[in-house]
């Protein structure tokens, strides 16, 4: 059981009630709890307020919990991809922006993400 489900049950909220408070569909909450999907940073921040806990407590709660965040090209500013930012390890990847054709590097992990040129 991951922390979102654990905290939701502790606060005696149904998936439907939690989804309503977040302004999202109940299926999103179900996907977070089953590990099929992860909450966006904005939702993670709101969950922490609702449950009166830290984002860190939520993110480290289950082995499959992480933060999904979109990044933009450091050259042209166009949206690249979403990366799952694990709270435990640091990963690095690089690629070529499909819009401007320039190389970029993404370093992500431990709750942070950094995009740089080249």
Residue labelled with tokens 């799952």: 84
Spatial contact of 47 and 39, defined as CB atoms under 8 Å apart: yes
Which residues of the chain are under the pLDDT cut of 50?
A: 1, 62-65
Structure token pair of residue 96: 């070529």
Supply the pLDDT for residue 83.
65
Spatial contact of 85 and 67, defined as CB atoms under 8 Å apart: yes
Query: From CA 3, how far away is CA 58, in angstroms rounded?
Result: 6
Q: 23: Cβ–Cβ under 8 A, 6 or more apart, which residues?
A: none
pTM of the model: 0.52
Measured CA to CA in angstroms, residue 24 lies from 21, 28, 29, 81, 89 at distances of: 8, 7, 8, 22, 29
Supply the pLDDT for residue 92.
79
Supply the pLDDT for residue 111.
63
Taking phi over 0 as left and psi of -120 to 50 as alpha, with beta for the rest, 35 belongs to left
């Amino acid at each position: 059981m991951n922390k979102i489900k654990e905290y939701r049950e502790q606060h005696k909220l149904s998936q439907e009630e939690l989804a309503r408070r977040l302004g999202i569909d109940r299926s999103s909450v179900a996907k977070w709890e089953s590990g099929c999907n992860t909450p966006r940073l904005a939702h993670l921040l709101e969950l922490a307020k609702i449950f009166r806990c830290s984002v860190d407590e939520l993110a480290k709660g289950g082995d499959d919990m992480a933060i999904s965040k979109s990044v933009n090209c450091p050259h042209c500013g166009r949206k690249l991809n979403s990366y799952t930012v694990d709270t435990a390890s640091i990963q690095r990847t690089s690629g070529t922006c499909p819009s401007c054709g320039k190389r970029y590097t993404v370093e992500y992990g431990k709750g942070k993400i950094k995009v740089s040129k080249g």
